[in-house]
């Protein structure tokens, strides 16, 4: 049995992973810890095989830049250092696809990180500092997932879901985006933990997502009909250069399939088969 500690006591990924482990009878014993409580520094990390670091601040209006660096970088590094000092064998750090410039469109092994927002910048700095702690006795696994979604997930997916149930028409576009269903992520995490993998990984769904199709599928699941109307590409392209929201929704931004951890890639005789649900199945599960 593996003992696992998750930071970010109320995180969506952490709580759903605990539920997934129980539902699938995985032989893990999982504890959570709230790093907002200063007493976390007194917690004994030595009893754990793996620490999954989820504590972070994402995009919150009105926050000073300093808080992103204090939480996403400094606190993450302090946690990793404590884990290493106390004998934890593996540290899994959740970073983000936002470490790349969204104008890259396709992210490959040759794409250099170039974050545009403070969230991506703070996460990238944390990656670099935590990577320096790697040793034969302390493995570091850095995940750069795309948008994660699932039932009751926070963030952009919920906004798109709400919109899909209100509109009658939506632009028909041909963009491509990497996304990751929460159940697929949990299966991937199990591969990472069981095989003690270290390095950088880029999990994603087997199918790239088209925003128009996403809106249409969500509407169908909720017994709604959305009509996809062509002819808006030039407006969307123009607004995408001016407004980050349009770029996020309508732009193409996806991982190359050859990146480590992409579906079907192999490493050390481990094949990354972690697709619990197809795209359509994942939308049904998310909208249940």
- DSSP codes of every residue in 251-263: S-BEE-TTSTTST
pLDDT digits (tens, 9 = 90+) for 116-135: 999 999 999 999 999 999 99
pLDDT given at position 33: 97
Classify burial at 198, counting beta carbons within 10 Å of its beta carbon; exposed 0-12, middle 13-18, buried 19 or more: middle
Q: How confident is the model at residue 231 (pLDDT cuts 50, 70, 90)?
A: low
Residue 9 has pLDDT above 90, yes or no: no
CA-only gyration radius of the chain, Å: 19
Structure confidence by residue, pLDDT tens digits, 100-115: 998 789 999 999 999 9
For residues 184 and 203, the answer to whether their CB atoms sit within 8 Å is yes
Q: Which CATH architecture has domain 2-144?
A: 3-Layer(aba) Sandwich (3.40)
Q: Is-above-0.85 flag for pTM?
A: yes
Q: How confident is the model at residue 173 (pLDDT cuts 50, 70, 90)?
A: confident
Residue 17 near residue 2 (C-beta atoms within 8 A): no
CA gap 35, 71 in Å, rounded: 10
pLDDT score recorded for residue 229: 86
Residues in the chain: 288
Cβ atoms within 10 A of the Cβ of 211, count?
A: 22
Percent of the chain's residues with pLDDT above 90: 79
Integer Cα distance of 255 and 202 in angstroms: 8
Cα–Cα distance between 99 and 116 in angstroms, integer?
A: 8
pLDDT digits 0-9 by tens, 243-263: 565 567 778 999 999 999 999
Strands 28-33, 2-7: pairing kind: parallel
Confidence at 139, pLDDT banded by 50, 70, 90: very high
Cβ atoms of residues 166 and 127 within 8 Å: no
**pLDDT in the model for residue 28:** 98
């Amino acid at each position: 049995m593996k003992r696992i500690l998750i930071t970010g006591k109320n995180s969506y990924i952490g709580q759903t992973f605990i539920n997934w482990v129980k539902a699938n009878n995985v032989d893990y014993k999982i504890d959570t810890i709230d790093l907002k409580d200063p007493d976390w520094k007194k917690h004994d990390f030595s009893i754990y095989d793996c620490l999954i670091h989820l504590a972070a601040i994402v995009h919150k209006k009105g926050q000073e830049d300093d808080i992103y660096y204090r939480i996403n970088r400094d606190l993450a590094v302090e946690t990793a250092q404590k884990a290493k000092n106390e004998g934890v064998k593996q540290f899994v750090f959740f970073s983000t696809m936002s470490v790349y410039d969204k104008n890259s469109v396709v992210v490959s092994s040759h794409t250099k990180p170039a974050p545009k927002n403070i969230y991506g910048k703070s996460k990238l700095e944390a990656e670099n500092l935590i990577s320096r702690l790697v040793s034969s006795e302390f493995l570091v696994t850095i995940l750069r997932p795309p948008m994660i979604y699932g039932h009751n997930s926070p963030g952009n997916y919920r906004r798109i879901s709400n919109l899909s149930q209100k509109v009658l028409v939506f632009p028909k576009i041909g963009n491509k985006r990497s996304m990751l269903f929460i159940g697929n992520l949990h299966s991937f995490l199990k591969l990472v933990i069981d095989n003690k993998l270290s390095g950088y990984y880029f999990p994603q769904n087997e199918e790239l997502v088209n925003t128009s199709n996403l809106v249409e599928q969500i509407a169908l699941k909720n017994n709604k009909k959305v009509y996809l109307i062509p002819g808006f590409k030039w407006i969307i392209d123009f607004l995408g250069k001016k407004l980050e929201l349009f770029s996020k929704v309508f732009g193409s931004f996806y991982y190359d399939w050859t990146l480590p951890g992409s579906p079907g890639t192999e490493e050390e005789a481990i094949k990354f088969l972690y697709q619990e649900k197809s795209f359509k199945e994942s939308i049904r599960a998310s909208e249940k």
